[in-house]
């Protein structure tokens, strides 16, 4: 039952993923959560985020921001990046993960979702069979509803690591 929340891969940060390797593996689209995945909650695009998206463009990726935030928040973050974007995404609903692939001209099978939350980001992408990366949150300060979800995430991640160690599951 808990496996529906398991990420396919884990990274310390969205900035530490080997995007060249992903491209070599055949992935062409990247979906990103914003808050606590790319920047601290509510922050504008950082120099590091802007440089990441420039690098992704050079590699040849299509990319899209997919956020449960309101339009103003997503547009403010995206001002200097210029990515495709979906706001009020209602993650973990499947609809906007699929819509993002259509916007980018990619498929579910050649797109990767990168986010910091199991119950929205990873679970939503898993529901449609998309490759997922769970990254550690950038900053510990979060809204109360997310703090509560983090406690449950720790339980799921305990079993994820246990299943990895025992060989019951493998990273993809």
DSSP character string of 48-114: HHHHHHHHHHHHT-EEEEE-SS-HHHHHHHHTTT--EEESS--TT-SHHHHHHHHHHT--STTEEEE
Q: Provide the residue ranges of all domains of the chain, joining segments of one domain with +.
A: 2-166
Q: In this predicted structure, what is the pLDDT of residue 147?
A: 67
How many whole angstroms separate alpha carbon 30 and alpha carbon 43? 21
How many residues are recorded in the chain? 172
Inter-CA distances, 147 with 59, 64, 70, 121, 125, Å: 35, 26, 20, 15, 21
CA–CA separation, 32 and 42 (whole Å): 15
Residue 39 three-state SS = strand
63 vs 151 pLDDT, higher one: 63
Closest C-alpha to 88, from 34, 131, 41? 34
- How far apart, in whole angstroms, are the C-alpha atoms of residue 118 and residue 157? 9
The correct answer on CATH 3.40.50.1000 for the domain covering 2-166 is yes
How do residues 135-165 score in pLDDT, each as one tens digit?
999 876 666 666 677 778 888 888 888 888 8
Taking the C-alpha atoms of residue 32 and residue 96, their distance in angstroms, rounded to an integer, is 12
What is the mean predicted confidence (pLDDT) over 19-48?
Answer: 96
pLDDT at 151: 78
Token pair for 47: 């120099």
**pTM for the whole thing?**
0.90
């Amino acid at each position: 039952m808990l496996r529906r929340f398991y990420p396919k891969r884990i990274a310390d940060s969205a900035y530490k993923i080997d995007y060249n390797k992903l491209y070599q593996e055949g992935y062409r689209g990247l979906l990103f959560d914003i808050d606590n995945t790319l920047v601290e909650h509510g922050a504008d695009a950082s120099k590091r985020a802007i440089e990441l998206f420039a690098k992704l463009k050079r590699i040849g990726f299509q990319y899209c921001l997919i956020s449960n935030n309101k339009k103003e928040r997503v547009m403010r973050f995206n001002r200097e990046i210029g990515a495709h974007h979906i706001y009020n995404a209602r993650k973990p609903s499947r609809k906007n993960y699929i819509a993002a692939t259509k916007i980018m001209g990619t498929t579910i099978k050649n797109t990767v979702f990168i986010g910091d939350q199991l119950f929205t980001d990873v679970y939503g992408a898993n529901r449609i069979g998309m490759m997922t990366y769970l990254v550690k949150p950038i900053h510990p300060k979060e809204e109360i509803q997310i703090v509560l979800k983090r406690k449950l995430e720790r339980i799921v991640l305990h079993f994820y690591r246990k299943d990895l160690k025992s060989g019951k599951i493998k990273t993809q």
